[in-house]
Structures are given as structure tokens and as C-alpha cells.
Structure 1
Amino acid sequence: MVRALVTVIVGAMVTGVVIGLLPGISADDGWAVLTVAIVLGVLGAVLRPLLVTLLTRIGWAGVVAGWIVVQGLLVWIALQVTPGIQVDGFWSAFWASWLGAILMSIGLWVVTAGQHGVATRHLLRANRRYRRSVAPTDVPGVIMIQIDGLSAPLTRWAIETGNLPTIGRWLRTGSHTLTEWHARMPATTPASQAGLLHGASDRVPAFRWYEKTPGRLVVTNRPEDAALVESRLSNGRGLLADGGVSVSNVFSGDAPTSLLTMSTVRGRRPGPARYLSAYLLDPFGLTRSLVLAAGEIVKELHQARRQRLRGVEPRMHRDWRYVLLRGATNVLLRNLNLTVIAEQMMRGAPAVFCDLVDYDEIAHHAGPARPEALASLDGIDGVLAILEEVAAAAPRPYRFVILSDHGQSQGATFRQRYGLTLEDLIRGQGTDDVVVAAGGNLALVYFTRLPCRVTREQIDKRYPELLPTLTGHAGIGWVMVRSEADGAVVLGPDGQRRLRDDHVDGTDPLAGFGPHAADDLRRHDTLDHTGDLVINSLFDPVTGEVAAFEELIGCHGGLGGAQEQPVLVHPREWRVTDPLIGSDAVHLVLCGWLEQVGCRSSAGGEPPRAPR
């Protein structure tokens, strides 16, 4: 009741401002303004659900056109039927609707900012039909939220600084505990999600890689490539196979319901899903999110300027593409993900896995521990708080698991430090048949004219100065290459390490890269489509800094620093008995937990019991 009253009051104030500013609309008195605000609210509540259904059936053209004109149509009807209001025609109402939507979004944000439960109440109202139609069950469901790029050390720090109050409360009350795990190289989202969701991280050697036989570069954030890779990963028994829901992931985990997921986006039926149509046409959906995204863009411009004026180092130029991307990920996508997860919870989904990329994107460009990156965690934590409230009204009890896929390590980029890219350095040695696939501070190098895996001896014969140049460069920590005589060998500036027996000549090139470095490289040497050369940047164990081979201040992919230290926050009674080395190990633990609570069948067993 209070929410409705606040909405009417703000709506009346906005309507008065709009009528005062725009020609073609007039009101006899304040009562007419108040009346039209009430009429518009009633029309929206009654007609908008019907319009969502109708326009969804028409298709994308109907939904997009509806988003543009529906609010204008409702405003025009409200103005026409309200006594004491004069309007020249539809277009006056159309422009009034957009100005009003912007002012209403700002007004409600100002009035409701910081108020407990506002977003939750809206989500519950939007999904009230499921509260009536979905029968309850005692079988718990599990909500798995991946905070992309968040390391365990930074999680602890963010809890202390108050950026993750919900997770902090869970840990302090003893409902949850925090476990650090090791992300095996490559520490990337596709590789980790291949493990987390399918238990098959060994099919993904990097974020991008070259396949010699078809002669193509595979980039896992492209839908067609993500679908190709998932076809190699899937055995039909992924993490979400038994009625689970995949939201905003790279791979689906064999979920029967896959939404906003890269690998399945092209396999969807044509036309918009109802959840997306509802979000677009909801006044608390896209229009409001666009207004808030504009605010996020203004904040980004201010924060980037502040970094420049303060001389913060390392830093990078944050161009207009990232400015728009930040608005999209930190507001639009986050709000859409929240809407989708809440709906699935009210439908009684047994398991949901969603990747929230907000922090990762900002950390790439600003730095993983910078104020703007930490501030993004406030918004993510707010999502967790809202989902916790939604769970209290859902048809089944829900448990929450929060995890990351990798961390991030910081440092000035290779190009910033040395004035050239890694590809420039390699091509400067006379190579004209090379593909350099870089991701973070890891690069896979392929000699495209030579089939299969090229050996050290072949490289030395064709390009005798290449390996000495690479290993002697200050920005390169080590180079792995396959030798005909010694198998996989790791080369450094003052020595080498033979991986088959860990024999070291001179100075160990893996010294300082952590206790898992040799095992990670032994594994990586066996992966399909790994590079002829595998190159890792420098790592300073004192500062924890690396030098990314792409233009990102915060990076991940190779070895060195917090990028290898993701986090797992889980209910305390769900035990982790062994060290978690690699995302495949985490997959097994997650599957075990789902089986334990009864929302996943064991291999070959009966499917989980669904809500009645």
C-alpha cells in the first residue's frame, strides 16, 4: 500500500512537470494531474501483461515496437479518458511518455534508494502467477552465483571493507564458509566453466586458440565457437542436466533451460522469450535500466578522469566502447539476470547457475582492487540480498553457493612497458607464418605452415634467434616448448626445467610461480590445440604484478598472482574434504551437493523430484 501511494505521488509530480514542459498537453488543475497519474497506473497494471503476451507472439519486431510505443499508447489513452486534460494528439503523448519514464525512473530511484525490499516486492508482484500455480516442495534447490574474476584474497578484503555485506553476514553467522581453490592454467572463464559446468576443462586450452587442421581461430565468446566447444564438452550429464537453468554463462551445463547463454543462443527458436519481452516492456525493466546505465556511464567518465588526474599507475585508456560496456554489464545485464533468476526461483527450478560479469569487466580496465571495481561488488551483493528475500517466498527452500571462475592479477601491460606487442617481438625474428593467440598474460603461438606440434629443434632450425630473444626479454617469465629429445621443456632467461622429471639446468624458470606451476604445465602440454610455444609474462612475487599481452590492467589466463585463486562460498554443512585443484574438482563437489539435497540424480539414477 505504501509502495503504491509513493508511486502515485511521484507519478503525479512527474506528470505535472511533463505537462508544464511539453507543448500540446494541458491540465485544468492539480486534481486532473493526480487523476491521470492514477489512471495511467491502473491501465499499465491491467493492459501491460496482455500486451506482453500479444507482442511476444508477434516476434522481435512486435516487442521492439512495443517497447517504443506501448508506454506512449498508455499515456495517450490515460490523457484521453481523464477529465480536465487536453492533448493535441498521439505524438504529444508519445514524447510525454518518454520524458515521464525518465523522470519517473529518477524520481523513484531517489525516493526508494536504500529502502529495504523495494526490488523484491516488485519481483514478487511480477511473478505472482507462479505463486498460485506452482505447488510447494520440501526438496531444496540450489542457486549458484558466479562472481566473475573475484579472487579469494580480494573476497576477504571486500568483506572487511563492507563491499560484500550479505556474504559477510553469512560467514559471520556460520551459515556459510569460504574455501579457496586453484584455477589451473588457463585461468579463464571458458576453461573454468568447461570444468565447473561439464567437468571437462581439458578441452579448452585458452580463451582463444588456433586449430591447425581446419585453419581457424576459436574465440569462446563468439556464439558459434562456444557452441562448437560445448559439443566437445557435453556428455549429457553436465552440472545442470536434471532440470537446471543456465543464465548468462559461456556453456550450458546441459541445462534444459538455457537463457542468455553463449553456447545456446543460436539454437533458440526465433523470436523473443516471454521473460525478455516482459523485461523490455516493464517500466521497471529496460527503460529504468537505461536511465541507471546512463548514470553508470557518467560515473565511469568521472572515475577514469580521477585516475588520470591523480596519476594512478598502472592504468589504461578507457575508451567509449568500455564506457558503454560498463553501463551494459553493471546495470542492464545485472538487472536482467536478477529478473530471470527470480522468475526461475518462483517457478521452482531445482538448480540455477548464473555468471555475473560486472566486477570482472571493471577490474580489467580499472584494476582488480581499485575503488570502482570494489564498488561494483556492492551491486552484486545487493543482488544476493534480493535473491535471499525472493527465496523466502519461493515454492521450495533454496541454498546459495557463491563462487568465482578465477581471480585477476594486476600490472602495466607488455606494450605499456616495452613499447611493442608480443606479436611485434615474435614477427621481428623473421616469422611470417605465425598466429599469436593472447589472453591475459598467457599467449599460445602457432606456426601455421607446419602441421602438428612444432618442436624446439624445428624452431631453432627455422628461426635460430627466436627462442633466445623470447627467453631473454624482461617481459617474459618463461616459454614452454616440446623437444624431440626431452619432451616438454620450460625455458627461462637463465635456465630450463624438463617437465617429465623436473630436472633443472641453471635457474628454475618456474621459481616464484607457485606450487602448482609444474603440474599445470604438464597438464597443459597434453591438451589438444595447445600452442607450439606457450608463453607466460613476467611475474613479480613482491608486487604480485604481471604484464598482460593484451591491453588490460587487470588480467587472467596464465600463471602468477591472485588470478589462480578463485573462491567458493558454500553452506557450512556441505563439506569440502580435499584440496580443490582445478574446476573439474569443483564440478564433482557441486554435483555431489546437488545429489545430496535431492535436486540432481546420480549417474544412471532416478531424476530428482520436481515440485508438484
Structure 2
Amino acid sequence: MSRWWPGGQARLALPVLLLDWAALGIAIAVTPGLSANTGWDVLLAAVLLAIAAALLRPLFAAFAARLGWAGVVAGWLLTQALLVYLALSVTPNIQVSGFWPAFWASWIYSVLVSAGMWVVTAGDNTAVLAHLLRTTRKSRHAADTTTVPGVVMIQIDGLSAPLARWAIQAGNLPTLTRWIRSGSHKLVEWHAQMPATTPASQAGLLHGASAHVPAFRWLEKQTGRLVVTNHPKDAEYVERGFSDGRGLLADGGVSISNVFSGDAPVSLLTMSTVARKGARRGPSREVSTYLVDPFGLTRSLVLTVGEMVKEVFQARRQRARDIEPRVHREASYVALRGVTNVLLRDLNLNLAAEHMMRGAPVIYCDFVDYDEIAHHAGPTRAESLASLDGIDWVLGKLEQLAAQTPRPYHLVVLSDHGQSQGATFLQRYGMTLEALVRKLMSGDGTDLAGAPENEQWGRVRALLTEVSGEQKAIGKLTKSVLAARDEPPAPSPDDGTELVVIASGNLGMVYLARERRRLTVEEIEARHPNLLTGLVTHPGIGFVMVRSGSRGPIVLGRDGVHHLVDGRIDGSDPLAEFGPHAADDLRRHDTLPHVGDIVLNSLMDAATGEVAAFEELVGCHGGLGGWQTRPMLIHPAHWPGPGSFIGADAVHHQLVHWLKDLGLRAEQ
């Protein structure tokens, strides 16, 4: 053990004991059917409860895991109650009238202890590290010790390089700031090719296959399938199309909370694998331990409620101060923020810690805290920046935990895209993109695309789908929840549907769905002569890309045309404000499968960098403009590599090269 550890543990022992004593005393006092003669009797009960928990909780967790998810849920509900009932029953001078008073008292006690521990341990890592080391002790003892270092890759979803640099220079991210200032790590920026979305970037980062993902959601005109990449079945379908078995994590790696698996043999809370036939149908031991332990799920739930209360306050403060741009933060988002920013973050930390203690060679885990808040509050707003501090805190825990693991670990931090801010298209012009397209087409077609779903619901969907793998009562319950979140069925080219309009941030794609192939600009003009002119001249549209039968892909702007095949520009370049990579990105995007008949990008204000999302998100990504295409990579400074990368595939190849240098990649 490190020298700081025993002292830190002893320093917290007395405050934790006093907290347990007070919480148990309050629980006994307010629960009918329980009573104690003196406070000293309660103190003895608190000590006995701590001893019973240390001895029996690991056995309860192991037993619950054998019973499947239903057993884990029952264990979470009953384990603490059984321990409290046992401790109170054997303590002299404490009267217990039955199990159910102890059951309710156990919940009061757990909530009070969780809230109190948050206050007592604020800024102190000792309690968290003690919990992680305790719950992973068996894995550490069973693992083989090696001097070959492993790699833990943490993805901070949605963090742009400019914002990361600012936060590090300001010292707001203590762990990352220390790494950069000490020279142990280096930050480089890379360019996320369009579409700048998590599925496209992770297809590249984890598989080197970003060219298989044209947007966050898209229509396959040949089959009529509407693909939404945060749906587990769709994520599995997409990964099956590009996986070659040699993804980034193929050689013994672990995928945690990602869209795609990287071909990892161990894949947890990953959308592409949770619904896979033959996948694990019950909970892993580490998940069971987290759920049954009061420092795990119960603590996370208490803090989740706190996060929800904070969201309500922060949303009201935005309205009261009339901060613009802003979007309405719905009640469903309040719950979603609590789940993603506390529950999933804590679970991800526990899962990463478990597999570090097992000696996994490579771990890749996506933390979506910042991306989720930035979508609704804005990428540079105070609450979004505060969420980065929570992820930096996780990095600090992983760094300290690595001192106790059976192998040394290098830590790599990267993002998949950035975010750009701005008032939405609907807010600016009083209509959605789809409404505009229908108006220009004189109202033909029907709305079968459905309202777009927030991308982070996929994290919750992955968690629920993994839980629902067991065909028991809990499985049926969670499957009903999943069904409630499903989007409408995809339109079929044979059912007469004319129009499907799909948005991914400020990237829009229009499909004239009666044809099974992509239409040319000449065919679009012949069928809907007002459509392209109306889109190009609309003030909310920055540019429109279509494919000509004779000239290939062309980009149309209000005052000019950019011919992508030969680079010729007629009039003013419609891509001039969208950065040096815009033409190359669009040239590449035109070649991707299932691209819309019309691809369009919102306006970008050159003075502010603001864009106009086609979804109701104040912070967005998917198209071009602003910081959304400027993610970052932080890696050990002694690892050789270029100063920048173009595209997620290039980052993937560099990561694979580094793994080979470390001896973590089997030669093929």
C-alpha cells in the first residue's frame, strides 16, 4: 500500500463512525417499532452493523449475482435491511418489533449516510478509493502481476480542444492540468470529419471504420430502414457491417459504455452488444457488488436526486436571468441528467476499476456527463464546465488506483467531437427544417420520421437493455420501458412515403423516399422545382450539397457554387466560412453509404461561431461550423506521434500503433 493510505483511512474512521452513529440513531428514533435505551446502545449497534457488513455483504453480492438481475435487485432492496435487522437484534437494550421496521430504518439510515458521506468526504479521495479497493480485492489477488503496462482510454464525450485548453490553463481541471504542466502528457487537437457525431467518431476510433456512419440517424432507402445509432439493435446492425474482429480492443480489451465495442471480448453497457444473441444475460460480479453495496447504488441514487434538483435550479436560473440562447429543459431531461451525470459515471468508474484490478490490457470507457449538459445548457455555460470537474475527479481516482493494480497503466484521454452553440433553427425562424421542406414541396408527404430522440437516451437504453436480458419479471419491466422510448417504425419505400427529413445537430439530410436510390440534382429539380432554390436562399441554411449526374457532387450557396470534383468555384465560395477542411469533408461525405438526396448544413455566424441546430439543442454537433469538429487527444508525452490528425480513423491507427509498441497488440 502507498504510505498515504493508512493515514488517510484512519483520518476518516472517526468522522464515518460518528456519521453512522447519528444516522442510525435518527433512523431508530423516527421508525415505529424500533427503540433504544441510550445513545451508547446505538453506537454499539453501529459498530456491529459495520462488522456484519464487512463480513457478509460480499457473500450476499455473490449469491445475488448467481440469481441473475432479479436477485441483484432483490439484494439491493434487502441486503442492508437484513444487516440492520441482524445488528439491531443482537444489540442489548434495542427493541425490534419485526423485520419491516428494520427494513424502513435501513433505507433512512442509508440515505442519511450517503448524504452525510458526500459532505464528510468532499474533496477527499480516501473513502472512494477505500471502497474501490475493497470491492476489487478478490480480483487483485487473483490477477497475475506483470510489468507490461496497460492502457486506460477515457473518452470525454463532446469536449472540444479549445475548451479543454482553456479549462486546463485556468486550472479548473486539477488532474489534467497537473499532467500537462508537469510534461507527463501532451494535448493535441484532431479534426473530426463530418459527421461530427459519437457513432461516426467511435466507429473510427474503435474500428477504423468511420466511413460506414453518415450521421447520427439515417434512412437506408434500399431497405426502408431508419437507423438510429443509440438503439442497441441498430448499433449492433451497424457494427456487424464493418467489424473485422480486429478492432482497437480485440486483444483482451474491455469496452465500457460505448456505442460500438471495438471487438472487445468483454463489453459492458455497450450499445452494439447489449442485445446480441449469446451475450451475457445476467449481471457480472462487479455490477452486482456495486448495486448491492450501499456505497454504490444507494449513494448514487441519493446524489442522482441531488443532481436533478440542481438541474431544476439551474434551468430556472437561466430563465430568470434571460440567458440566450437557451432551450426548454424538459422533465425527462431532468431525470436523464441525473442518470448520466451520477449513476452511470459512478458505475463506469467502478467497472473500470474492477477491470484494472483484473489486469485488463486495454480499457476504453465513454463518459457522457459534459456532452449531455452542454446540449441543453450550452457548451461553455457554468453547469457544463462543472461537469468536466466531475470527470477530472474520475481521472484522479483512476490514476491513484493504478498505483495498486497488478500492472502499471498509462492513461489516455480523448474526445470524439466538440460542440457548437447557437439558437436553434426553430427558435430563429418559427418552423422546423422538416416544416420548411414540406412548405417548399407544397405540403406533399407525411411525417413518418418521428421527433428526434436525445442521443444520451441511448446510454440509458443500453443500461436498460442489459438489465432486460434476463427473461424474468425485471426483464419484462425494462423491456416495456424500452418499448416506450422506441421511435416510430421506419417508412418503407413501397408505402407511398415521399419525404423523410432527418437532423443530426446542424446537419440535415432530406430523403425523397419513393426512390430506392439517391436522386440527382437534375431529378430533384424536375420533381420539386422550388425545393433547392428555397433551401439555398433561406437565411438559416449555410449550404446545400447535392449530386449532379454530370458534374458529381456540388455545394450550393446563396451566392455561388463549389464543384467538389475539381474544386472550381462559381461566384462566392459557400464553404469559405466553414474552415479549411470543409471541401474535403463534403467530398468524403458524398461517398458514404445512405447519404440523403439533399445534404444541408445550417448557417454559421462568422463573428461568434454560432450555428443553428435543426434539433432543439442549444449545443450541437454533426455538421460543420464552430468547435464541433475540433476534438482533442491527451496522451503520454513520450509516445511519438504527429501533432494533429485528420479523422477518427487516423487516431485509431495511431492508437493501434502505440498498443503495438507496448506489446499489447497481437501481430496479424
TM-score w.r.t. the length of structure 1 is 0.97
> How many Å separate the matches in 2 of 1:132 and 1:514?
53
- Partner of 1:51, secondary structure, is helix
1:20-99 matched pairs, under 5 angstroms: 20-99=29-108
1:108 Cα deviation after fit = 1.4
- For residue 577 of structure 1, the aligned residue among 619, 642, 653 is 642
Q: Which amino acid aligns with 1:405?
A: D
> How many Å separate the matches in 2 of 1:418 and 1:406?
27
1:5 Cα deviation after fit = 3.6
User: Is the counterpart of residue 446 in structure 1 residue 511 in structure 2?
Assistant: yes
Q: Which amino acid aligns with 2:185?
A: H
> How many Å separate the matches in 1 of 2:340 and 2:287?
16
> How many Å separate the matches in 2 of 1:375 and 1:361?
12
User: Is the counterpart of residue 194 in structure 1 residue 203 in structure 2?
Assistant: yes
1:570 Cα deviation after fit = 0.6
> How many Å separate the matches in 1 of 2:421 and 2:142?
50
Match of 2:482 in 1: none
Match of 1:609 in 2: none
Match of 1:420 in 2: 431
> How many Å separate the matches in 1 of 2:628 and 2:174?
23
- For residue 227 of structure 2, the aligned residue among 208, 215, 218 is 218
- For residue 122 of structure 1, the aligned residue among 120, 131, 137 is 131
Gaps (5+ residues) in structure 2? 1-8, 446-497
1:445 Cα deviation after fit = 1.1
1:585-596 matched pairs, under 5 angstroms: 585-596=650-661
Match of 1:9 in 2: 18
| 1:443-471: CA deviation from partner (whole Å, max 9, x where unpaired) | 11111101211011111111000000000
1:12-411 matched pairs, under 5 angstroms: 12-267=21-276, 268-411=279-422
Q: Which amino acid aligns with 2:28?
A: I
> How many Å separate the matches in 1 of 2:23 and 2:126?
23
> How many Å separate the matches in 2 of 1:121 and 1:94?
26
Between 1:291-300 and 1:215-224, the stretch displaced more is 291-300
- Tell me if the contact between 1:539 and 1:545 (Cα under 8 Å) persists in the aligned partners: yes
- Partner of 1:185, secondary structure, is coil
1:578 Cα deviation after fit = 5.9
1:69 Cα deviation after fit = 1.6
- Tell me if the contact between 1:163 and 1:381 (Cα under 8 Å) persists in the aligned partners: no
Q: Which amino acid aligns with 1:270?
A: R
| 1:136-165: CA deviation from partner (whole Å, max 9, x where unpaired) | 111010010000000000001111333211
Match of 2:629 in 1: 564
1:21 Cα deviation after fit = 1.6
| 1:341-374: CA deviation from partner (whole Å, max 9, x where unpaired) | 0111110010000000000000000000000000
Between 1:405-414 and 1:317-326, the stretch displaced more is 317-326
1:475-554 matched pairs, under 5 angstroms: 475-554=540-619
- Tell me if the contact between 2:232 and 2:271 (Cα under 8 Å) persists in the aligned partners: yes
> How many Å separate the matches in 2 of 1:596 and 1:97?
52
> How many Å separate the matches in 1 of 2:373 and 2:637?
31
1:28 Cα deviation after fit = 1.2
Between 1:4-13 and 1:134-143, the stretch displaced more is 4-13
| 1:92-116: CA deviation from partner (whole Å, max 9, x where unpaired) | 1111000110001111111111124
Q: Which amino acid aligns with 2:320?
A: L
- For residue 528 of structure 2, the aligned residue among 448, 456, 463 is 463
Gaps (5+ residues) in structure 1? 605-612
| 1:472-508: CA deviation from partner (whole Å, max 9, x where unpaired) | 1000000000111211010111111111011111111
1:224 Cα deviation after fit = 0.1
1:58 Cα deviation after fit = 1.1
1:178 Cα deviation after fit = 0.6
> How many Å separate the matches in 1 of 2:140 and 2:568?
64
| 1:11-52: CA deviation from partner (whole Å, max 9, x where unpaired) | 111111112222211001122101111111111111111111
Match of 1:437 in 2: 502
TM-score w.r.t. the length of structure 2 is 0.89
> How many Å separate the matches in 1 of 2:572 and 2:121?
61
- Tell me if the contact between 1:117 and 1:386 (Cα under 8 Å) persists in the aligned partners: no
Q: Which amino acid aligns with 2:115?
A: I
- Partner of 2:123, secondary structure, is coil
Q: Which amino acid aligns with 1:280?
A: L
- Tell me if the contact between 2:125 and 2:397 (Cα under 8 Å) persists in the aligned partners: no
- Tell me if the contact between 1:196 and 1:584 (Cα under 8 Å) persists in the aligned partners: yes
Between 1:68-77 and 1:465-474, the stretch displaced more is 68-77
- Tell me if the contact between 2:135 and 2:289 (Cα under 8 Å) persists in the aligned partners: no
> How many Å separate the matches in 1 of 2:347 and 2:401?
15
Q: Which amino acid aligns with 1:411?
A: G
- Partner of 1:266, secondary structure, is coil
| 1:416-465: CA deviation from partner (whole Å, max 9, x where unpaired) | 00000000000112341111110100011111101211011111111000
> How many Å separate the matches in 2 of 1:502 and 1:134?
57
- Tell me if the contact between 2:188 and 2:644 (Cα under 8 Å) persists in the aligned partners: no
Between 1:449-458 and 1:583-592, the stretch displaced more is 449-458
1:213 Cα deviation after fit = 1.5
> How many Å separate the matches in 1 of 2:125 and 2:290?
22
> How many Å separate the matches in 2 of 1:307 and 1:356?
25
> How many Å separate the matches in 2 of 1:491 and 1:137?
58
> How many Å separate the matches in 1 of 2:74 and 2:666?
44
Between 1:56-65 and 1:580-589, the stretch displaced more is 56-65
Q: Which amino acid aligns with 1:31?
A: W
Aligned residues: 603
Between 1:430-439 and 1:91-100, the stretch displaced more is 430-439
Match of 1:601 in 2: 666
Q: Which amino acid aligns with 2:628?
A: Q
> How many Å separate the matches in 2 of 1:293 and 1:147?
20
Runs of 4+ in 1 over 4 A off after TM superposition: none
> How many Å separate the matches in 2 of 1:333 and 1:124?
19
